[in-house]
Structure 1
Amino acid sequence: MSAPVLSVPGEPPAAGYSAAVRARGLRKTYGAGETAVHALAGVDVDVERGAFSAIMGPSGSGKSTLMHCLAGLDAASEGQVWLGDTELTSLRDEQLTKLRRERIGFVFQAFNLLPVLDAQENMLLPMQLAGQRPDQAWMDDVVGRLGLRDRLHHRPHELSGGQQQRVAVARALLPRPDVVFADEPTGNLDSRSGAEVLDLLRSSVRETGQTVVMVTHDPVAASYADRVVLLADGRLAGELQQPTVDSVISALRGLGD
């Protein structure tokens, strides 16, 4: 396992630097004193632009905390995070909210669709909140690739789990965000629906240059990624390039999962 290639900690990205997201000295502590929990203990990591990256590690390794800090959903106790050349850790709450709406897409395990809205309305909601209009050609392309043309006016309860997650993927892709963060996106799906969603995320990277970061505990899901970043005890523990199911399982065994 090779270590991540890192630039100098604490410095902003150089001109032309290809990382979509980068973190330096990232620490996250919950509580204080003897009961303090150090979820992240000094993480330096780069997320390559236009690639599919997975974050993995044993339970309690800090993988979800890392994703939340990289996505601006949670504030780090120490350290810095950049989305492109924008430092998230220096932004006020209202600036972070605007950035998340305009430059970050999210896909969650629980879908997070509003039951009173149909599929199309759920897809467009983040753009409406940001005061944006969808590019109709891009929307037609996304809806077609996700196989949702005949489901646009169905509400979530009228859709299967796989269809609901495809709506969530469309919602994340339509604004053309800098990065899509996916938190256990196949956790509530059967194996066939999960494979469909993972294929869609991978194709969005390969066909449109989207950057995707996925947290998962599933070696099969991780094998769809270009790279797996491994965490243990809140620290980087290595990485895998072009992972396979077997190489992921072996790496996780080495971490004690």
Structure 2
Amino acid sequence: MRSNVPAPRGTTAAPAASVEHLSKIYGTGDAQVVALNDITVEIMPGQLTAVMGPSGSGKSTLMHCIAGLDRPTSGRALIGQTDVATLKDRDLTRLRRERIGFVFQQFNLVPTLTARENILLPLAIAGRKPDPDWYDEVLRAVDLADRLTHKPSQLSGGQQQRVACARALVGRPDIIFADEPTGNLDSVSAVEILQFLRRAVDDLGRTVVMVTHDPYSASYADRALFLADGRIVDDVSHPTHEIVMTTMAHLDPRRIDRASIPQSPSDLDPTPVSV
């Protein structure tokens, strides 16, 4: 089992994010839970990295520690060269606003605001104006120009998640964290979001870290990190659906229901969807 994972071979750029000997422990005594156990890993820029593992493996905790949503018990969590674990609350809030984008399973849109207002909300809170050219590019990427005046209740689940993706991108963050971004979506909408995240990396030059339990979603990634019992146990470049299925089944065969997982992309999306 490997808890210390360097950057993939052939990469020379500085990491977009990294953790060094990171541990996270909840509770004490008999109630103590070691969520992360001495992890060292680098997330390289310009890539979509999937973080996978059985329930309770520590994958969401790892994302939360890197993103500054939770503080580690020991070790370092860095965005670029900034150790987020050492920042005071005000500086941490500023870093999350200016350098990090978030996409969550529950969309987290404000129901009384329009799609446009939801997209621009983080910039409005920070007192910043959007870069017009970048804003237009983001809108083209999410393909929601005809829905900008609609409120969340007037949008489908896939459209709401695309609004959330645009909101994460509009501030041009260094890195985007997506926590189970397709978990509440039907299969067609899920493919739309996965294609968008792929385009955010390939066409818009972003870095994306996606926590997921779904082998098909992970097949969109450049790299898949597999966690078990709070440690990184495998690191796969260019993961395929089949490789991810095999690796996950090896980690915890009880939690893999093969009948419920598409066996090929065509099972999930017979017609390619553009975003």
**Structure 1 length-normalised TM:** 0.94
1:205 to 159, 183, 201: 201
Deviation track 1:150-199 (CA, whole Å, cap 9, x = no partner) reads 00000000000000000000000010000000000000000110000000
Corresponding position of 1:250: 246
Q: What is aligned with 1:107?
A: 103
CA distance in 1, matches of 2:192, 2:238: 19
C-alpha contact 1:6 1:44 (8 A) present in aligned 2: no
Q: Does the alignment pair 1:41 with 2:37?
A: yes
State the partner residue of 1:4: 5
Deviations 1:122-168 (A, max 9, x none): 00000111111101111111112211000000000000000000000
Partner Cα distance (1:237, 1:227) in 2: 14
Measure, in 2, the Cα distance between the counterparts of 1:207 and 1:181: 18
> CA separation in 2, counterparts of 1:182 and 1:93?
22
TM-superposed CA distance for 1:6, in Å, is 5.5
Separation in structure 2 between the aligned mates of residue 46 and residue 96 of structure 1, nearest angstrom: 20
Contact 2:7 2:44 in 1 (8 A): no
- What CA RMSD, in Å, does the superposition of the two structures yield over aligned residues? 1.6
Corresponding position: 1:148 with 2:149: no
1:187 aligns with 2:183: yes
Runs of 4 or more above 4 Å deviation: none
Which residue is 2:15 aligned to?
19
How big is the shift at 1:62? 0.3
Q: Deviations over 1:99-141 (max 9, x none)?
A: 0011000000000000000000000000111111101111111
Q: Which residue of 2 aligns with 1:82?
A: 78
Specify which of 150, 163, 168 is matched with residue 159 of structure 2. Answer: 163
Quick one: distance in 1 between partners of 2:53 and 2:35?
Answer: 12
Aligned mates of 1:78, 1:93 — CA distance in 2 = 18
- Rounded to whole Å, the distance in 2 between the matches of 1:146 and 1:209 is 15
- Checking the alignment, whether the CA contact within 8 Å between 1:23 and 1:79 is kept in structure 2 is yes
The TM-score with structure 2 as length reference comes to 0.88
Indicate yes or no: 2:77 matched with 1:60.
Answer: no
**1:45, CA displacement in angstroms?**
0.8
Partner of 1:107, secondary structure, is: strand
Partner amino acid for 2:30? E
1:133 alignment partner in structure 2: 129
* Local SS of the residue matching 1:74: coil
State the partner residue of 1:120. Answer: 116
- Which of 182, 193, 196 in structure 1 is aligned with 2:192? 196
Change (3 A) 1:31 1:72: same
